[in-house]
Amino acid sequence: MASETSAVIVWFRRDLRLSDHAALTAACADGRPVIPVFILDDLAAGLGAAAKWRLGRGLAALQAALEGRGCRLTLRRGPALAVLRQLIAETGAGAVHWTRAYDPAALARDSEVKSDLKARGVNARSFPGHLLFEPWTVETKTGGPYRVYSPMWRAVKDRGVPALLPPPGRIAVPASWPRSDALADWGLGAAMRRGAAVVAAHSSAGEAAALDRLDRFLGEGIGLYNIRRDLPGVAGTSGLSEYLALGEISPQRCWHGGLRARQEGAAGAETFLKELVWREFAYHLMYHSPQILSGNWRAEWDRFPWRTDPEHPHVLAWKQGRTGMPFVDAAMREMQVTGRMHNRGRMIVASYLTKHLMTHWRIGLDWFAKHLTDWDPASNAMGWQWAAGSGPDAAPYFRVFNPETQLAKFDPDLAYRRAWIAEGQRDPPRTALDYFRAIPAHWGLSPDDPYPAPVVSAEAGRRTALDAYAVRGGGA
C-alpha cells in the first residue's frame, strides 16, 4: 500500500508541457517526489515516420525543460502496464497520474492500466488536458453525440473553459532516480531518413516554442486570420497543430488567447475559436464512433468502387506530387518538405485522390500518417472522410473540388505553386528545390524533369467520379 510520502509517477504521453498540466500540478501539490516518465510502448513505436521523429524532438525539449528545474525525464521501453509496474516496484511510487487520451487503442491500454494499478493499491488517476471539452460532456438536446459540427459549435461556444495552470513552482525529486534509456538509443528519427534534415528547418519543438508561436499569432496573425487562413501561399494560419498534437501547448491556452483577442476586437478571433472546435469535433466523433479511424463512417460507402492498390501509377503520381495538377502537387511537396500541409491543400489533395483518382481514402490517410509532423488520429480521419464524402457532416460527394479553379481562387498570384514546384522555373526557390532533397533517392526525380501533364484532368476526373457515384451510389 502507498504511503503519504511515496513518489508520484507522472506518465507523459501527448502532453509534453509543464504548464496547464493538471496531472503534473496535482502530483506536485503536496510536495511528494515526482518521477516524470515517458514509455515507448507499441502505440508510440507504431507512429508514422514524421510523427515519430517529431516526438523525439518533443521529448528532447521536455527533457531539457525538466532538467532546467533540477528534475529528469525517465525513458523506458515496453508495454505500458509492465513498465509502470516495474517502476513502481523500483521506486515505491504510490500514485500514477496521466492526461487522458481518446483513441480506442489508448483508451483500452489506459483502462487496463488503471484497473490493474488500483487493484494493487496504487492511486492511478487520469486528468483532462488534451481537449477543451471531455467528449462525454457534450450532448445533443435529445441526448447522444453530435454528428454535425455547427450545432456542436453552438453548444460549446459559451461554455466555461478552466483557467490556465502555471507550471509547478517546485517539483520535488526522489532521493535517487530510476534508470533511464538514452533518447538517442531509441532512434525515433530513423525512418525519416534524409527527409529529417529538410523538415528540421521547418519545425520547432517544445513548450517554449509553442508559447512563442501562439504569442506571435495572437500579436500579428489573428486579426486577418479569417481572410488569410484560406490562402496557402501566405503564412496566415497559427501553425499550432504540431504543438497541439503532442500537447506542447494546451487547447485551453489557445482558447483563452482567442477569447481575449475577440474581446479586443480581432476580426479573425471567432474563426480561430471555431477551428479549435473543429479539433474538438474530430475527437468527439472518434470517441463516440471509433470506427471512423478505419472504416467508412457511412456504411453505404462500403460498396463504392474505390481503387485500393496503393502502388497504382496514379496513386504513385499523387504520392510523389507528380499528378500534373499544380495545386495537388504543390501541397504534396509542401508536406514532404515541412511535415505539414496547408488546410486547403489537404482538402484539395484528399478530394483529388478520392474523387478524380477514385482511390480509397484510407490510402491517403495512411500516407498522411507517415508524413505529417502534426499527425493527429482524430483530425486526420475526420478530414479524409469529410473530403471523400463518407463521413458524418461530410462534403457531399457530388461537390467535387476542381483543383484548377481552386488554384486560381486561392493562389491567384501563384505564390504557392512557385514555392513548391521547381520544374519549369528558371530560378526555383529553396523550398521547391528542397523537395528533391527530402524525397527518397530511388524515386529518381529531378528539378530538371519536365513538369508532367495531368494524370487525370479536372473535368475527366470529375465525370468519372460522378458516374461511379450515380451507378454505385455512396451517399444518401
Confirm or deny that 318 is annotated as ligand binding.
no
Q: Output the smallest distance, CB 419 to ligand FAD, in A.
A: 16
Q: Residue 30: which residues within 8 A CB-CB, separation 6 or more? A: none
Which three cell numbers, joined as nine digits, stand for 32? 511528494
> Which part of the chain contacts ligand FAD (CB under 6 A), choosing from 138-146, 311-319, 367-375, 410-418?
367-375
Question: CA–CA separation, 392 vs 297, rounded Å?
Answer: 7
Confirm or deny that 375 is annotated as ligand binding.
yes
Position 368 contacts ligand FAD (CB under 6 A): yes
> Which part of the chain contacts ligand FAD (CB under 6 A), choosing from 198-206, 295-303, 314-322, 366-374?
366-374
Position 385 contacts ligand FAD (CB under 6 A): no
Position 229 contacts ligand FAD (CB under 6 A): yes
Catalytic residue (choose from 11, 384, 386, 420): 384
Catalytic residue (choose from 361, 367, 386, 420): 361
38 or 281, CB closer to ligand FAD? 281
Position 418 contacts ligand FAD (CB under 6 A): no
Order the strands of the 74-77 sheet from edge to edge. 74-77, 34-40, 8-12, 95-99, 123-127
Cβ distance 403 to 331 under 8 Å? no
Query: Would you tell me how many other CB atoms lie within 10 Å of the CB of residue 61?
Result: 21
Question: CA–CA separation, 379 vs 286, rounded Å?
Answer: 9
Position 387 contacts ligand FAD (CB under 6 A): yes
> Which part of the chain contacts ligand FAD (CB under 6 A), choosing from 233-241, 310-318, 393-401, 460-468?
233-241
276 or 432, CB closer to ligand FAD? 276
Active site residue 443: no
Confirm or deny that 238 is annotated as ligand binding.
yes
Position 246 contacts ligand FAD (CB under 6 A): no
Position 346 contacts ligand FAD (CB under 6 A): yes
Active site residue 275: yes
Q: Output the smallest distance, CB 225 to ligand FAD, in A.
A: 7
Report the residue from 374, 416, 417, 455 that binds ligand FAD according to the rule CB under 6 A. Answer: 374
Q: What is the DSSP secondary-structure string of 306-358?
A: -B--TT-HHHHHHHTT-SS-HHHHHHHHHHHHHS---HHHHHHHHHIIIIIS-
Give SS3 for 180. Answer: coil
Which three cell numbers, joined as nine digits, stand for 338? 515541412
Question: In terms of DSSP H, where are the helices of 92-202?
Answer: 104-119, 149-156, 195-200
Confirm or deny that 99 is annotated as ligand binding.
no
Length of the chain: 476
Per CB under 6 A, contacts with ligand FAD among 75-114 are none
Query: Would you tell me how many other CB atoms lie within 10 Å of the CB of residue 362?
Result: 20
For residue 160, which amino acid is it? G
Position 373 contacts ligand FAD (CB under 6 A): no
Determine the straight-line distance between the first and last CA of the chain, rounded to whole angstroms: 58
Question: CA–CA separation, 398 vs 199, rounded Å?
Answer: 36
Question: CA–CA separation, 320 vs 139, rounded Å?
Answer: 42
Cβ distance 85 to 95 under 8 Å? no
Active site residue 278: yes
Position 239 contacts ligand FAD (CB under 6 A): yes
Confirm or deny that 239 is annotated as ligand binding.
yes
Active site residue 11: no
Q: Which residues are annotated as a binding site for FAD?
A: 225, 237-241, 272, 374-376
Residues with catalytic annotation?
A: 275, 278, 306, 343, 361, 384
Which residues are at the interface with ligand FAD (CB under 6 A)?
229, 237-241, 244-245, 275-276, 278-279, 282, 343, 346-347, 350, 368, 372, 374-376, 379-380, 383-384, 387
